[in-house]
Amino acid sequence: MRQFALYINDEVQGPLSEYEVQDLIHAEKVTAETLCAPVGSENWEPLSNHFSFSSGLKLTRQSNERVENSTETEPDLPRLEHDTRRRLLMYGLADSATVDQISPLQAEFLIREKETAIRRENSVRTIATFVSIALGVLGGAFLLAQPVASDTVKAVANSAVSEDTKSIAQWQNFVKRAADYENHAKEAAVVPFGEPPGGLPCGPLLLQRLQVNDETAYNVTLTMALNNETLVGPLNKFSITLQPKVTLYMLEKDIPEDQLRKAKSLADTLQLILSPLLDNKEFEPLRDELMTKFPEAADIPEAARLHADLATLKLTELAAAIEKVNYRASEAEKIAEGKGPKTSATINASAYLGWAARLRDFSNEIIHLRDRLRINVDPDARRKVWSDFNLKTGTELGAWVIANAKNTFESDEQGEVHLTETANLKSDLLRRRVFVSFRINEDTVFLPWDSSFLSCGEPTSTRIANDVFMARERYKVVSKVDVGGRRYKYSSQVGDKLLLLTRESPHVYYISVARDKDTDALTLRVDEAAFKKLNRGDVIPLDTLAQMPAYNQPAETIPSPLLSPE
C-alpha cells in the first residue's frame, strides 16, 4: 500500500497510508490543492493527482431475475469485502450512500480501471522525466540531431509506452472475460434441460405384449341339420319319433379309437333299424359279403381254423357264429397277456392283441346281419334292437361324450351354432373333436360331425379383434422411482476470481407396470402429480397407459453444454 507525506498548515505530516489520507479527505481537512509527495519521491504535487475528491457515479446493483423453477437454484451474490469497499471510497469511485449498491463484479471493474489510469499517469510522468533528462544531456552537447541520440530517446519512450500497452491489453482481456461470464451465466441460469432420451409411445408396446391363445382367438359359426334323405325320411316312414333339437359337444382332445368304434356301431345300428325289408334270397349275398370281412392272420394258426369253421356258415347259425368269434377273441387277448396256452415264440403277443380287436369288429358285423334278419320277420324288432343297443353301448358312448366335452352349444332356429372364443375350426378338426346329439324315441343319439345322418356345412371362422382381448389386460404398478436433482455448475476464471453459478437438474418420475403373469415390466414416465397419487398394486386404465412414454430404464434430463456436473 502506498504512503504519502502531506504539506498541511505549513508543516509536513506523514508518512500517511492511503486509508488515512482518504479519512482526511472525507473529514475535509485537506483539499484537492493540498501538496503531497509519495514516499520515495522528492516531487510535491497536488493531492488530486492521486485521489479523487468527487464522483458522479450512480450505480445500482443489477437485479437478477429469478428463474421460476422449483427444481433449480440460483447463485447468491456475495457482499463486498471490507478491503474492496475501502478502495472504492478511497479512490472516490463511490460514497457511503452508493457504495453498497455496487456488485463485486462492478467493483472489480471500477477499481481496476482506476488503478490502470493511475499507472498510465505514472508512465507518462516517467516518460517525460526520461525525455527531459535525455534532451538536457544531448541538447547541451548539440547531439540531438545525431541518429544515435534520437534512437535513444525513442527507445526510452517506447519502453515506457510498451509497459503501459501491456497493462491495457491485460485490462481489456479482463473486461472481455468478465463480460463473457455475465452473458453466459445469464444463459446458463435459464437454459432448459433436454428431455430424457429414448422415450417411445407405449400403445404399440402394449399391443406387442398382448398374448392371445389360438385356442380362444376365433368366433365360429356352424351350420348343421339332420339329413332328410338318410335320417328324417326313413324315421317318418317307420313312425319313429324324432326330436330335432340339435346339441353340439366340443371335445378337449381328439376322439379315441375305442369311442370311434362305439360311434360306428351306433351308426350301423341306426342304419339297421332304418333299412327296408328284404326278400330271403337277398340275404345270401349279405352273408357272402360278411365272410369277405373275416380278419385273416397268416401267422396265427387259430385264424385259419376259425375261418374254416365259418366258411359254411348258414343264416340260421349266426348266433353260434357270434359265440365262436367272441370266444376266439377272448382267447387271443389272454395269449397277448401271457395267460393263455403257449404259442410259437415267433408269434408276437401284439399280433394276437390286434387280431382280437379285429375279431370283435367282425363279431359286430355278424350281429348286424342277425338283427337285420330279425327286423325282417318281426315288426317290433326294430324298437327292440334300438333299445338293446342304447341300454349298453349307446349309454356308454353318451356318458363318455358328456364327461369329455369342453363346451356345449345349442343350435338356433336357423340350425346355426355360434361358438365364441374358440379355436380356428376347420372341417378336419370338427371330424376329430365334435359330436352332435339329438333324440330318437326318448333315447339320445351321439354322432360324429361327419356322419352320413347329418347335413353339416363348412365352418365360418372369424378372428376376434385384438381390442377385445386388450380391453381385458390389467397392468399394475410394481415400483416407482424418482431421478434427477443432480447439481450442475457454470464457472469461469476472471482475473484471480473463480466465478460460479450452480443449478439442479429437474426431477423426472417413473413407474414400472406389469401383468400378474409377466416376468418383466414396462418403465413409464409420469408427471409429479400422478407419481404421488399412484401406489404399488394400483391398476392403470389401458387408455391412460397408452398415452405414457415408455423407456428401457429410468433416464435423467440432458444438461446444456454450458453446464457440467458439480
The C-alpha atoms of residue 119 and residue 177 are separated, in whole angstroms, by: 22
Query: How would you label 415-440 residue by residue, b for 16+ Cβ within 10 Å and e otherwise?
Result: bebebebbbebeeeebeebbbbbbeb
The C-alpha atoms of residue 81 and residue 183 are separated, in whole angstroms, by: 24
Cβ atoms of residues 551 and 511 within 8 Å: no
Neighbour-count burial of 152, counting CB atoms closer than 10 A to its CB (0-12 exposed, 13-18 middle, 19+ buried): middle
DSSP string, 272-327: HHTSPP--GGGHHHHHHHHHTT----TT-HHHHHHHHHHTT--GGGHHHHHHHHHH
Backbone dihedral region for residue 225 (phi beyond 0: left; psi -120 to 50: alpha; all else: beta): beta
Residue 401's CB is within 10 A of a number of other CB atoms, namely 21
CA 235 to mean position of chain CA atoms: 64
Give the list of residues 6+ apart from residue 437 with CB closer than 8 angstroms, or none: 246, 247, 249, 398, 401, 444, 445, 446, 447
Task: Give me 197's grid cell.
Answer: 432420451
DSSP string, 416-432: EEEEEEE----HHHHHH
The C-alpha atoms of residue 265 and residue 372 are separated, in whole angstroms, by: 14
The C-alpha atoms of residue 39 and residue 50 are separated, in whole angstroms, by: 13
Question: At 38, is the secondary structure helix, strand, or coil?
Answer: strand
The C-alpha atoms of residue 184 and residue 196 are separated, in whole angstroms, by: 24
Cβ atoms of residues 345 and 314 within 8 Å: no
The C-alpha atoms of residue 434 and residue 438 are separated, in whole angstroms, by: 14
- pLDDT value of residue 436: 94
The C-alpha atoms of residue 336 and residue 512 are separated, in whole angstroms, by: 63
Q: What is the pLDDT along the chain (566 residues), one digit of tens a residue?
A: 688 888 888 788 888 888 888 888 888 888 888 888 888 887 888 888 888 775 433 333 333 333 333 334 444 445 678 788 778 878 777 776 677 777 777 778 788 888 887 877 766 565 555 444 444 443 343 333 334 434 444 444 454 445 556 667 777 787 788 888 889 889 999 999 999 998 899 999 999 999 899 888 999 999 988 999 999 998 888 788 888 788 999 998 999 999 998 999 899 888 888 888 888 788 889 888 989 999 999 888 889 999 999 988 888 889 999 999 999 999 999 988 887 666 555 567 888 889 999 999 999 889 888 888 888 888 788 888 888 888 899 999 999 999 999 889 888 888 888 888 888 888 888 999 999 999 987 888 999 999 999 998 889 999 999 999 999 999 999 999 999 999 999 998 877 778 889 999 999 999 999 999 899 999 999 999 999 999 999 999 999 999 999 999 999 999 999 999 98
- pLDDT value of residue 454: 93
Q: What is the separation, in whole angstroms, between the first and last Cα of the chain? A: 38
- pLDDT value of residue 77: 44
Query: How would you label 238-253 residue by residue, b for 16+ Cβ within 10 Å and e otherwise?
Result: eeeeeeeebbbbbbee
Strands 539-540 and 460-463: unpaired
Longest Cα separation, the chain: 175
Task: Return the H-helix or E-strand segment holding 35.
Answer: strand 35-38
DSSP string, 132-160: HHHHHHHHHTT-TTSHHHHHHHHHHHHHH
Q: Is the previous residue joined to 38 through a cis bond, with omega within 30 degrees of 0?
A: no
The C-alpha atoms of residue 42 and residue 455 are separated, in whole angstroms, by: 136
The dihedral through the CA atoms of 339, 341, 346, 347 has a sign that is negative
**pTM score of the predicted model:** 0.50
Cβ atoms of residues 216 and 422 within 8 Å: yes
Residue where the block lists cell 427444481: 71
Task: Give me 303's grid cell.
Answer: 385264424
Residue 108 phi/psi, 5-degree rounding, is -60, -40
Which residue spans within 72-203 are E strands per DSSP?
Answer: 200-201
The C-alpha atoms of residue 218 and residue 233 are separated, in whole angstroms, by: 36
DSSP tag of 26: H
Cβ atoms of residues 447 and 453 within 8 Å: yes
Residue 247 pairs in a beta bridge with 410, 437
Nearest to 58 by CA among 26, 86, 94: 94
Question: In order of start, what are the domains of the chain with their CATH numbers?
Answer: 1-53 (3.30.1490.40), 60-158 (no CATH), 200-209+470-565 (no CATH), 214-463 (no CATH)
Neighbour-count burial of 190, counting CB atoms closer than 10 A to its CB (0-12 exposed, 13-18 middle, 19+ buried): middle
